Amino acid sequence: MTKEGYAKLQEELDRLRRVERPQALQAMNEAAAHGDISDNADYRVAKERRDYVESRIKELDDRLARAQVIDTRDLATDKVVFGCTVLLGETEAERRVKYKIVGAHEADIRAGRISIHSPVGKALIGHRLGDVIQVSVPSGKKEYEILEISSE
């Protein structure tokens, strides 16, 4: 996991503990004050929310405890590795795309972060500047040339 990905998960965990958990508990208490909880839709909704928050807290605690954080600032840029940023040129189109290779939970194509396990991520790993790779994507095969590798 990248340092940025770890920080993002830590922020979410802190928000869940400081904001979401207390709000969920307060909603449960308010709903319970309305009477019999066995037939109380507001209470059921509040309890489901609390259960979701607790489940997410447990999931994030576990993920952060097991995370191996990679500092991408010190990466060698002679070949594509986890955490590096790659500028690609599509060989059939005059288009360039830039991707950062990240873990599956950090991937966000709109932000230019692709999973190391994605078809493009898998195809890039280990290749060097100037290499041309072929990737099978849902729309067919694409060819990319590696134009730049950096540790942004």
Question: Tens digit of pLDDT for each residue in 133-152?
Answer: 999 878 888 899 999 998 87
Q: Order of strands across the sheet with 132-137?
A: 113-115, 95-102, 85-90, 140-150, 132-137
Per-residue pLDDT tens digits for 49-67 = 999 999 999 999 999 998 8
> Beta strand 95-102 with 113-115: parallel, antiparallel or unpaired?
parallel
Calpha distance 132→146 (Å, rounded): 6
Q: What pTM, to 2 d.p., does this model score?
A: 0.69
CATH code of domain 73-150: 3.10.50.30
Q: What contacts 77, CB < 8 A, 6 or more positions away?
A: 84, 149, 150, 151
Whether 1 and 67 have beta carbons less than 8 Å apart is answered as yes
Rg of the chain over Cα atoms, rounded to whole angstroms, equals 22
Summarize pLDDT for 19-39 with one digit per residue, the tens.
Answer: 999 999 999 998 888 777 777
C-alpha 78/C-alpha 109 separation (Å) is 24
pLDDT of amino acid 68: 85
For residue 86, what pLDDT is reported? Answer: 95
Q: What CATH number belongs to 3-66?
A: 1.10.287.180
Q: What pLDDT is recorded for position 77?
A: 76
From-to residues of CATH 3.10.50.30 in the chain: 73-150
Q: Which residue has the higher pLDDT, 119 or 36?
A: 119
**Coil, strand or helix at 86:** strand
Neighbours of 100 (CB within 10 A): 22
CATH 1.10.287.180 residue ranges of the chain are: 3-66
| Coil vs helix vs strand at 8 | helix
